[in-house]
Structure 1
Amino acid sequence: MTGPEARQAWLDWLAHERRASPHTLAAYGADLSDFLGFLTRHLGGEPDLAALGSLRPADLRAFLAERATRDGVGNATRARQLAAVRGFFRFLARHHGLVPLALAGLRGPKVVQPAPRPLTAEQAREVADATGSVENTPLLAARDKALFTLLYGCGLRISEALALDVRNAPRAGTGLRVVGKGSKERVVPVLPAVASAIGTYLALRGHPAPESPLFLGARGERLNPAVAQKALRDYRRLAGLPESATPHALRHSFATHLLGAGGDLRSIQELLGHASLSTTQRYTSVDAVKLLETWQKAHPRAG
Structure 2
Amino acid sequence: MTNATATLVAPSNNTAHLYGAQFLARYNGATRDLYGTRLRIFFAWCATHNLDPITGITRPLLELYSRHLEDDRANCPASVAGALSTLKMFYRLLALDNVIPASPAEYIRMPKVWSDETKTLGLDRLELSALLATARTLDNTRWALVTLLGLLGLRVSEACNVQIENFLDREERGHRIISVIGKGHKPATMPLPVPVARALDACRGDRTTGPLLLRADGEQLDRCTAARWVKSLAKRAGIRKRVSPHSLRHAMVTNALDAGVPLRDVQIAARHSDPRTTNRYDRARGNLDRHAVHTLAAYISGGA
Q: Which TM-score bucket, shorter chain as reference?
A: 0.7 to 0.9
TM-score normalised over the length of structure 1: 0.83
Q: Match of 1:118?
A: 122
Task: Decide which of 167, 170, 181 is 1:169's aligned counterpart.
Answer: 167
Q: Matches of 1:252 and 1:226 in 2, distance apart? A: 18
Structure 1 gap ranges (5+):
15-19, 136-140
Bigger drift between 80-89 and 1-10 goes to 1-10
Q: Which residue number in structure 1 is paired with residue 70 of structure 2?
A: 68
> Structure 1 residue runs of 4+, over 6 Å off?
298-301
Partners of 2:180 and 2:188 within 8 A in 1: yes
Displacement after TM superposition at 1:295 (Å) = 4.4
CA contact (8 A) 2:203 2:213 kept: no
Provide Cα deviations, 1:19-50, integer angstroms capped at 9, x if missing partner. Answer: x33010110100100111111112x26x3xxx
Equivalent of 2:101, from 99, 102, 105?
99
Counterparts of 2:186 and 2:291 in 1: how far apart (Å)? 36
Distance 1:94 1:128, change over 3 A: same
Secondary structure at the aligned position of 1:175 is classed as strand
Cα distance between partner residues in 1 of 2:136 and 2:111: 42
Number of positions where the alignment pairs a residue of Structure 1 with one of Structure 2: 280
Give TM-score, length-normalised by structure 2.
0.83
Q: Matched residues, percent identical?
A: 25
User: Is the CA contact 1:151–1:158 (under 8 Å) kept in the aligned structure 2?
Assistant: yes
Coordinate RMSD, CA, aligned: 2.6
1:190, 1:295 → 2: CA distance? Answer: 38
Kindly provide the CA deviation profile for residues 132-175 of structure 1, in whole angstroms up to 9, marking residues without a partner as x. 65x6xxxxx21011110121111111111112111013778323
Does structure 2 conserve the Cα–Cα contact (< 8 Å) formed by 1:118 and 1:256?
yes
CA distance in 1 between counterparts of 2:110 and 2:36 reads 19
Are the counterparts in 2 of residues 216 and 223 from structure 1 also a CA contact under 8 Å? yes
Unaligned 5+ runs, structure 2: 1-13
Q: CA deviation at 1:96?
A: 4.8
Spell out the pairing of 1:222-233 with structure 2 (5 A cutoff): 222-233=220-231
Say if 1:229 and 1:246, in contact at 8 Å, map to a contact too. yes
Q: Is the 8 A contact 1:150 1:161 kept in 2?
A: yes
Aligned partner of 2:143 in structure 1 is 145
- Deviations along 1:176-229, one digit per CA (max 9) or x if unpaired, are 2222211223332221111001111111xx324x2x112122222221111011
Change (3 A) 1:213 1:299: same
Mapped partners of 2:66, 2:136: distance in 1: 45
